[in-house]
Structure 1
Amino acid sequence: MTEGKAVRESISEYSELALPNDANGLGNVLGGKVMHLVDLAGAMAAMRHARRPVVTLSVDQLLFLHPVRVGELIVLRSSVNRVFRTSMEVGVRVTTEKLMTGERRHTCSAYLTFVALDENQKPTPITPVIPETEEEQRRYRQAGERRQYRLAMRKERN
């Protein structure tokens, strides 16, 4: 296994126009649709880092700060925050853009955990991630704290 890969090598961006078939009767995009897009964007960053198939293990809390309206562009930006052994945390930030005005708003953010799979679809070790900027280093540290919380919660449930 190599020494590691920079966070910037995993950065992914995905955009989709919010259409009427994505919305409820009020013209707001369904939360489940946004969650689906978050999972896709997260998987793109995870696969870009691991260069292997990945599966979603968990999604942390998803809090919508405002509704996504039909006609807005949904922009999702994702990157790997930290790699553990066979799993990694990916952060996804969702913003909307009103295409006629250029106004952008932060809609929600989420942290997802993905597991990389080998040829037999078994968990496999992942190349470490190297945080380079202060923000990446902060996210790296916080990912470790979130992992400890997730592990404690899992232990509590068993």
Structure 2
Amino acid sequence: MSEILMPNDTNNLGRALGGSVLHWMDICGAIAARRFSRRQVVTAAMDHVDFIAAIELGDIVTTTAYVFETGRTSMDVKVDVYTERPDRGERNEAATSFFSFVALDESETPASVPALRCPTESQTELRAIALEQRQARRRELAERTTEP
């Protein structure tokens, strides 16, 4: 998904509101989960979000997402946000997080999802990267919460 950061989504410094970025991330993640499961989905969880760089008024904001793990009714989705400033030839990572979505049937109860297959080497690599990044985040969080 791509957007141009407009004034309605900025704070008083002319940078993206965190809530707007989260909104775009949730929608993009839901699209990936819905395409994968071919069902309606709801957001079940979101890991902490890393805001890596500011998004400035007028920046092109691109949000990408892909399913990297599945359960019986759930899908884990990696979501990344990039900024682009074509006039400067810049493209930078702006935010990243992991979302979990649950697929729903016609009665809006959890429904099974297909098993994840990675038929290409690049898909296998993306999955491995997402799994390692999520594990590293969880280790860091565990270490921070156990420090005196």
Bin of the TM-score, shorter chain as denominator length = 0.7 to 0.9
The amino acid of 2:55's aligned partner reads V
Q: Assess if the C-alpha contact under 8 Å between 1:28 and 1:67 holds in 2.
A: yes
2:87 match: secondary structure: coil
Structure 1 letter corresponding to 2:75:
M
Amino acid at match of 2:86: L
Q: Give structure 1 stretches of 5+ with no counterpart.
A: 1-13, 150-158
Q: How does 1:112-151 map to 2 (within 5 A)?
A: 112-131=99-118, 132-133=120-121, 134-139=124-129, 141-142=131-132
Residue 65 of structure 1 deviates from its aligned partner by 1.0
Match of 2:51 among 58, 61, 64: 64
Question: Which structure would you say has the larger RCO, counting Cα contacts within 8 Å and 6 or more residues apart?
Answer: 1
Of 41, 44, 56, the match for 2:28 = 41
In the TM superposition, what is the alpha-carbon distance from 1:99 to its structure 2 partner? 2.8
- Counterpart in the other structure of 1:78: 65
Q: Deviation at 1:21?
A: 1.2
Count of residues in correspondence between the two structures: 135
1:117-147, CA deviations, whole angstroms, 9 ceiling, x for partnerless residues? Answer: 000000011001112324134146448959x
Distance change >3 Å, CA 97–CA 143, structure 1 → 2: closer
What TM-score does the superposition give when structure 2 sets the normalisation length?
Answer: 0.84
Q: CA deviation at 1:101?
A: 2.1
Q: Percent identity?
A: 36
Q: Does residue 91 of the first structure (1) align with residue 78 of the second (2)?
A: yes
- 8 Å CA contact 2:98–2:134 kept in 1: the answer is no
TM-score, normalised to structure 1, is 0.79
Runs (4+) of structure 1 moved beyond 3 Å? Answer: 139-146
Cα shift readout 1:38-73 (whole Å, capped 9, x = no counterpart): 000000100110010000000101011111110000
RMSD: 2.1
Cα distance between partner residues in 2 of 1:104 and 1:140 = 21
